[in-house]
Amino acid sequence: MSDELFVFVTTATSDDAAGIAGALVSERLAACVNILGPIESVYRWEGEVKRDRESLMIIKTTAKRYPELELRIKELHSYSTPEVVALKIERGSEDYLTWLRASTEEEGEIAR
């Protein structure tokens, strides 16, 4: 079992996703962000069923960095209630997980 996470976030446009992704990786809150889309989202909002085209970010981070990551997404996101959902990575290549951890360490932090 590992301490790394996939975090799913949808955005209104791929440009919005690219801006958020760049900030998260630059600030070492995420090791990597994949941007998929457009996707079609069907959801209930303010009592109505809505349908929109969105982009989906798959963010790789650690449980340690998650609280800051969530706050930063909320600061940067255009939605009043952005989707921010984290799933624990149960297993993965140890080389990849080591890279992920190292890529999200704060400056000056010693690698595991």
Question: How many domains is the chain partitioned into structurally?
Answer: 1
Q: Is the pLDDT of residue 110 over 50?
A: no
- Domain span at 71: 4-103
Residue 19 forms part of a structural domain: yes
The string of DSSP codes covering 7-62 is EEEEESSHHHHHHHHHHHHHTTS-SEEEEEEEEEEEEEETTEEEEEEEEEEEEEEE
Q: Return the pLDDT at 107.
A: 74
Order of strands, edge to edge, in the sheet holding 85-88? 32-45, 48-62, 4-11, 85-88
Q: Is the pLDDT of residue 90 over 50?
A: yes
CATH of the domain at 82: 3.30.70.120
| Interatomic CA distance for residues 26 and 45, integer angstroms | 32
Residue 49 forms part of a structural domain: yes
Q: Return the pLDDT at 64.
A: 96
Residue 112 forms part of a structural domain: no
Residue 111 forms part of a structural domain: no
Which pLDDT tens digit goes with each residue over 26-47? Answer: 999 999 999 999 999 999 999 9
